[in-house]
C-alpha cells in the first residue's frame, strides 16, 4: 500500500490504475465518458486522517495515547463539543487506530498512524464494512437500536473490531437509550462504541456513566491562523495576515467554519484574499473605522459618532453587527486593562492591539463597564427594532452623552459631600487623545461659575432640584447635557414589628398576598422576638418559606431577621386559630334559643357568620357619619321605633 502523507486526501491514495480505469458499458450502449473528478471543499480535502493532523485537542490525544499504550481501551467513548471541532473526524481516526493493521498482517491498536494500514483508507472514507456510522437523528427509535444490539453478537468481517459510530446521539428517544444500556455496559469483546454529540446535557447520565467522555475544546485563534496559513500555502493562495485574523475570529473556534469561510474567501477574491474582501464578504465593519467610532463615543462626540455609523451603514454594514463590534471593542479594552498580555493574541490586528491598549490606559474601569452595559443591552433593542439604523443611532447618542456623566462611585462621593456640590464628571477621552482624571472638569467645559444652582430658603421647606449645565468638548456638536442633582432623600420610617401579627399586616400592606396567606396558614409559631422567628411549618407549607420570609423582611425593614424552622411543636397558626374561633362562635350561636327556633322553623338554614353587634367596625363607623348630625321631631316616627318588634313575624307564623 502506498504511504500517504496526512495532508493528502484519502481518495488520492488510490492506485493510478484504479483511478484511471474506465467503466464497463452495457451491450448496445456506448461506453460512458470518463468522469472528471469533482471539486472537494477544503474542509473535506484537508480533513485530518491521524491524531498528528488533529489540531487543538492535545489533552484528548495524550489520554488516548496512554490508554492504547497500557492496553486500557474502554468499550465506549463519548465525544462532545461545539460544531466543527472534530468529533466525527476523531471518531474515524479512533476507529482507524483500533483496527490498525499492516499489509503483512502485523500491527496492534495504536494512535501512531504515520503509515496507512490495510483498513485505514476505507475507514477514513467512511465505507468500511466493520465501521458503521449511524445518524441518530434519523435512526432514533427502539427498533433501530434493536438492530444494533442484534448485530453486535456477530464477529467483524475483516477488521479487528466492529466499531459503531453514532453521531448526534442526543437525538435518540428515551426508549432507545434504555434499550442501549445493557449492550453498552457489557458488549462483546470485539465491539466498540463511539458516540458524538453537541448537546451533552440531553444524554442520560446512565449512558454517560458507561462511556469515557472527552470534551473537545474550541480551537484558539492563533492555532486557527497558523492552520489556515498552512492550507493557503498548499493551495498556492495569497492571503494577508489581517484576512486570516478576520476568518479565525468569525469561526469562533470551529475548524470547519474556518475552512468553509476560507473556501468562500478564495472564491470571492479569485485566488487572492485581502482583508477588505473578507470584510465585504462577512458584512463586517472596517476595524479602523470601528475604532474611530468607539473613540468618538468615549469622547462624547455625538456628531462624529453618527457620521461614522452612517458611513458604515452606507457601505453595507449591518447596524446590529456594528453595535456588536463596538461591544467587542469595549470588552477588548477592559480585558487589556486587566490582562495586558492578551494583546499578543494572533487574532488581533495591529490597529486593534495598539489602540486597544491605548483605550485600556486612558479609560477607567467604571467607564468601560458602563459602555459595555449600554452596548450589550442596546444590541437587543437594535435587533428587535423595525428600523435598526434608527435604533442604533439613538443608542450611540445615549452612549455619547453618558460618557460625560459621573460614574456611580463619583455620584456617591458627591452625595456624601452634600447635595450642593456638583457631582464630578467621569473621564472621557479628550479631542487630543489624552484622558482626564476622574473628578476633574471636561476639556472645554463651562467654568464652575456658570453652574446654576438653587438652595432652599429654610430647612423646613422642600428642597428644589438644582440644575447644572455641563458643556461637552468642543467637538461634541453643541451636545450639552442638562444634569439634575437630586437632594439626598430623607430616610423613611421603618415599620415597627412587635408581634407576629404585625408581620402579616406588613405583608398585606406590601400587597404580597401569597406570603400573607402562607404566614396565616402555614406558620405555627414557636418563638417570636424582634429579629428572630421560629416556627413549625404546616404539612402543606413550601420548603423555602423561611428563606422567603427572611428575604422579604430584610427588603421591607432593612434589618436582618433570623427565620428558622423549629423541631419543637408550635401552636396553631393564625388561620387555624381564626377557624377555631369561628367554629366556637357558630356553636355558641346555635345554642341561643331564638337562633335555635329560627333553625327549626326553616329547615336547611345555616349560620354563615357571627358578628358582635357591640364591636362596630371601621366601615360601620364611616357609614354612620353619612347620617345627619341632628334629626328634628318630624323626621322620626317615634311610635314606629318604640312599638316595632323585630321578632313579631314569628308570632304571626305561629298563629297561621
Task: Check residues 617 and 249 and name the one with the higher pLDDT.
Answer: 249
pLDDT value, residue 166: 93
Say which range, 151-155, 199-203, 460-464, 561-565, has the weakest mean pLDDT. Answer: 460-464
Q: pLDDT-based confidence at 620, cuts 50/70/90?
A: low
Please identify which residue in the block is written with the cell numbers 467513548.
Answer: 77
Task: Check residues 166 and 632 and name the one with the higher pLDDT.
Answer: 166
CA distance to 218, 296, 416, 417, per residue, from 458 (Å): 66, 45, 21, 20
pLDDT digit string, tens, across residues 362-406 = 888 889 999 999 999 999 999 999 999 999 999 999 999 888 888
CA–CA distance, 68 with 647 (Å, rounded to integer): 102
650 burial (CB, 10 Å; 0-12 / 13-18 / 19+) is middle
pLDDT value, residue 652: 53
CA distance to 49, 410, 422, 457, 483, per residue, from 416 (Å): 67, 10, 11, 21, 18
Mean pLDDT (the chain) is: 77
For the chain, percent of residues with pLDDT exceeding 70: 75
According to the per-residue pLDDT averaged within each range, which of 201-210, 345-354, 470-479 is highest?
201-210
What would the mean pLDDT of 560-581 be, rounded to a whole number?
86
Q: pLDDT-based confidence at 162, cuts 50/70/90?
A: very high
Tell how far CA 13 is from the center of its chain: 47
Q: pLDDT-based confidence at 91, cuts 50/70/90?
A: very high
Is the pLDDT at 577 greater than 70? The verdict is yes
Measured torsion, CA atoms of residues 117, 121, 124, 130, in degrees rounded to the nearest 10: -80
Cell, residue 199: 448537546
Is the pLDDT at 447 greater than 80? The verdict is no
Is the pLDDT at 170 greater than 70? The verdict is yes
Same fold, 221-282 and 287-402: no
The domain segmentation of the chain, as residue ranges, is: 43-215, 221-282, 287-402, 495-621
**Going by C-beta distance under 8 Å and a sequence separation of 6 or more, which residues neighbour residue 82?**
198, 218, 253, 254
CA distance to 78, 614, 623, 624, per residue, from 618 (Å): 72, 13, 9, 10
Say which range, 464-468, 604-608, 619-623, has the weakest mean pLDDT. Answer: 464-468
Q: pLDDT-based confidence at 288, cuts 50/70/90?
A: confident
pLDDT value, residue 19: 41
Say which range, 286-300, 499-513, 514-528, 625-639, has the weakest mean pLDDT. Answer: 625-639
Cell, residue 6: 496526512
Is the pLDDT at 218 greater than 70? The verdict is yes
CATH number of 43-215: 3.40.50.300
Is the pLDDT at 250 greater than 50? The verdict is yes
Asked if residue 431 lies in contact with residue 292, where contact means CB atoms within 8 angstroms, the answer is no
E strands of 243-369, at which residues?
A: 272-273
Is the pLDDT at 198 greater than 70? The verdict is yes
What order of strands is seen across the sheet that includes strand 562-565? Answer: 523-529, 532-537, 562-565
What would the mean pLDDT of 196-206 be, rounded to a whole number?
92
Is the pLDDT at 234 greater than 50? The verdict is yes
SS3 content of the chain, % helix, strand, coil (to 5): 50, 10, 40
Listed residue (557, 548, 556) closest to 510, CA to CA: 556
pLDDT value, residue 494: 63
Instruction: Return left, alpha or beta for 484; rule: phi > 0 is left, psi -120 to 50 is alpha, else beta.
Output: beta
What would the mean pLDDT of 215-223 be, rounded to a whole number?
89
**Going by C-beta distance under 8 Å and a sequence separation of 6 or more, which residues neighbour residue 573?**
520, 521, 522, 523, 524, 525, 538
Q: pLDDT-based confidence at 414, cuts 50/70/90?
A: confident
CA–CA distance, 643 with 646 (Å, rounded to integer): 10
Q: What are phi and psi of 167, to 5 degrees?
A: -90, 150
* Element holding 376 (H helix, E strand): helix 365-384
Q: pLDDT-based confidence at 471, cuts 50/70/90?
A: very low
pLDDT digit string, tens, across residues 105-135 = 777 888 888 888 888 888 888 888 999 999 9
CA–CA distance, 632 with 611 (Å, rounded to integer): 32
* Element holding 558 (H helix, E strand): none
pLDDT value, residue 379: 93
Listed residue (226, 231, 268, 264) closest to 245, CA to CA: 226
Q: Is the domain 221-282 a CATH 3.50.50.60 member?
A: no
What would the mean pLDDT of 497-521 be, rounded to a whole number?
87
CA–CA distance, 316 with 327 (Å, rounded to integer): 19
Taking the CB of residue 635, how many other CB atoms lie within 10 A of it? 8
CA–CA distance, 251 with 22 (Å, rounded to integer): 41
What would the mean pLDDT of 607-632 be, rounded to a whole number?
55
CATH number of 287-402: 1.20.272.10
CA distance to 146, 181, 185, 210, 333, per residue, from 206 (Å): 18, 8, 10, 7, 45
According to the per-residue pLDDT averaged within each range, which of 102-106, 529-533, 624-628, 637-641 is highest?
529-533
What would the mean pLDDT of 215-220 be, rounded to a whole number?
90
Q: What is the DSSP letter of 613?
A: T
Tell how far CA 157 is from the center of its chain: 49
Asked whether the CA dihedral 118, 123, 127, 129 is positive or negative, the reply is positive
Amino acid at each position: 500500500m502506498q504511504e500517504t502523507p496526512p495532508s493528502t486526501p484519502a481518495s488520492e491514495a488510490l492506485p493510478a490504475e484504479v483511478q484511471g480505469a474506465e467503466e464497463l458499458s452495457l451491450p448496445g450502449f456506448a461506453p460512458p465518458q470518463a468522469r472528471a473528478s469533482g471539486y472537494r471543499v477544503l474542509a473535506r480535502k484537508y480533513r485530518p486522517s491521524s491524531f498528528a493532523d488533529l489540531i487543538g485537542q492535545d489533552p484528548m490525544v495524550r489520554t488516548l495515547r496512554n490508554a492504547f499504550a497500557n492496553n486500557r481501551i474502554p468499550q465506549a467513548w463519548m465525544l462532545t463539543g461545539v460544531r466543527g471541532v472534530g468529533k466525527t473526524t476523531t471518531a474515524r481516526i479512533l476507529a482507524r487506530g483500533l483496527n490498525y493493521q499492516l499489509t503483512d498482517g502485523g500491527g496492534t491498536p495504536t494512535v501512531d498512524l504515520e503509515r496507512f494500514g490495510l483498513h485505514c483508507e476505507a475507514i477514513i472514507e467512511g465505507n468500511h464494512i466493520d465501521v458503521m456510522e449511524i445518524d441518530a437523528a434519523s435512526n432514533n427509535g427502539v427498533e433501530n437500536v434493536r438492530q444494533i444490539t442484534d448485530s453486535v453478537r456477530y464477529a467483524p468481517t475483516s477488521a479487528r473490531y466492529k466499531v459503531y459510530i453514532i453521531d448526534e446521539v442526543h437525538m435518540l428517544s428515551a426508549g432507545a437509550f434504555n434499550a442501549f444500556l445493557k449492550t453498552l455496559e457489557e458488549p462483546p469483546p470485539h465491539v466498540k462504541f463511539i458516540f458524538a454529540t453537541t448537546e451533552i446535557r440531553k444524554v442520560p447520565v446512565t449512558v454517560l456513566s458507561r462511556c469515557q467522555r472527552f470534551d473537545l475544546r474550541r480551537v484558539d485563534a492563533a492555532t486557527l491562523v497558523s492552520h489556515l496559513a498552512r492550507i493557503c500555502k498548499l493551495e498556492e493562495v495569497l492571503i494577508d495576515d489581517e484576512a486570516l485574523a478576520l476568518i479565525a475570529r468569525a469561526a469562533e473556534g470551529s475548524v470547519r467554519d474556518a475552512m468553509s469561510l476560507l473556501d468562500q474567501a478564495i472564491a470571492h477574491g479569485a485566488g487572492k484574499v485581502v482583508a477588505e474582501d473578507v470584510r465585504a464578504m462577512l458584512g463586517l465593519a472596517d476595524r479602523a473605522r470601528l475604532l474611530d467610532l468607539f473613540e468618538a463615543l468615549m469622547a462624547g462626540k455625538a456628531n462624529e459618532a453618527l457620521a461614522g455609523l452612517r458611513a458604515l451603514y452606507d457601505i453595507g454594514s449591518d447596524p446590529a453587527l456594528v453595535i456588536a463590534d463596538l461591544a467587542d471593542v469595549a470588552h477588548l479594552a477592559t480585558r487589556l486593562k486587566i490582562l495586558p498580555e492578551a494583546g499578543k493574541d494572533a487574532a488581533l490586528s495591529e490597529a486593534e492591539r495598539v489602540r486597544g491598549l491605548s483605550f485600556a490606559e486612558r479609560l477607567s474601569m467604571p467607564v468601560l463597564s458602563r459602555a459595555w452595559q449600554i452596548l450589550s443591552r442596546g444590541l437587543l433593542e437594535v435587533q428587535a427594532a423595525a428600523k435598526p439604523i434608527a435604533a442604533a443611532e439613538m443608542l450611540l447618542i445615549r452612549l455619547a452623552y453618558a460618557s460625560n456623566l459621573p460614574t456611580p462611585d463619583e455620584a456617591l462621593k458627591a452625595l456624601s459631600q452634600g447635595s450642593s456640590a456638583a457631582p464630578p464628571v467621569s473621564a472621557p477621552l479628550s479631542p487630543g487623545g489624552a484622558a482626564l482624571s476622574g473628578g476633574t472638569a471636561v476639556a472645554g467645559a463651562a467654568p464652575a461659575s456658570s453652574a446654576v444652582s438653587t438652595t432652599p430658603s429654610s430647612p423646613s421647606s422642600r428642597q428644589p432640584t438644582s440644575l447644572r449645565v455641563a458643556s461637552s468638548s468642543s467637538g461634541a456638536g453643541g451636545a450639552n447635557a442638562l444634569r439634575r442633582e437630586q437632594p439626598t432623600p430623607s430616610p423613611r420610617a421603618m415599620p415597627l414589628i412587635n408581634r407576629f401579627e404585625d408581620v402579616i399586616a406588613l405583608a398585606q400592606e406590601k400587597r404580597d398576598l401569597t406570603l400573607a396567606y402562607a404566614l396565616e396558614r402555614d406558620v405555627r409559631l414557636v418563638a417570636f422576638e424582634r429579629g428572630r422567628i421560629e416556627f413549625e411549618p404546616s404539612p402543606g407549607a413550601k420548603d423555602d418559606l423561611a428563606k422567603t420570609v427572611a428575604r422579604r423582611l430584610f427588603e421591607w425593614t432593612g434589618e436582618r431577621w433570623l427565620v428558622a424552622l423549629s423541631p419543637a411543636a408550635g401552636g396553631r397558626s393564625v388561620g387555624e386559630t381564626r377557624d377555631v374561633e369561628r367554629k366556637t362562635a357558630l356553636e355558641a350561636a346555635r345554642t341561643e334559643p331564638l337562633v335555635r327556633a329560627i333553625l327549626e322553623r326553616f329547615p336547611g338554614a345555616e349560620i354563615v357568620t357571627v358578628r358582635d353587634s357591640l364591636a362596630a367596625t371601621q366601615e360601620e363607623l364611616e357609614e354612620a357619619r353619612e347620617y345627619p348630625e341632628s334629626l328634628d321631631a318630624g323626621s322620626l316616627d317615634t311610635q314606629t321605633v318604640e312599638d316595632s318588634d323585630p321578632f313579631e313575624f314569628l308570632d304571626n307564623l305561629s298563629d297561621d
